[in-house]
Amino acid sequence: MDLGLTDRVYVLTGASRGLGYATAQCLVADGARVVLSARDAGAVAAAAERLGGPERAVGLAADLADPETPGQLVAAAREHFGRLDGALISVGGPPAGKAASVSDEQWRQSFETVFLGTVRAVRTVADALPEGGAIGLVLSTSARGPVPGLGISNGLRPGLVGVAKDIADDYGPRGVRVVGLLPGRILTDRNRELFAATGDPERARAEAEAAIPLRRIGDPAEFGRVAAFVLSPAASYLTGVTVPVDGGALRGL
Q: What is the pLDDT of residues 198-229, one digit of tens each?
A: 899 999 999 999 999 999 999 999 999 999 99
CA distances from 50 to 25, 69, 122 (A): 9, 23, 27
Q: What is the pLDDT of residues 69-93, one digit of tens each?
A: 999 999 999 999 999 999 999 987 7
CA distances from 194 to 28, 41, 76, 97, 227 (A): 30, 25, 34, 11, 23
Rounded to whole angstroms, how far apart are CA atoms 44 and 15?
7
Radius of gyration (C-alpha) of the chain in whole angstroms: 17
- State yes or no: pLDDT of 169 exceeds 90: yes
Beta bridge partner(s), residue 11: 35, 87
Q: What is the pLDDT of residues 127-166, one digit of tens each?
A: 999 999 999 999 999 899 898 889 999 999 999 999 999 9
Beta bridge partner(s), residue 87: 11, 135
The structure's pTM equals 0.94
Residue type, 250: L
Say what the pLDDT of residue 193 is. Answer: 87
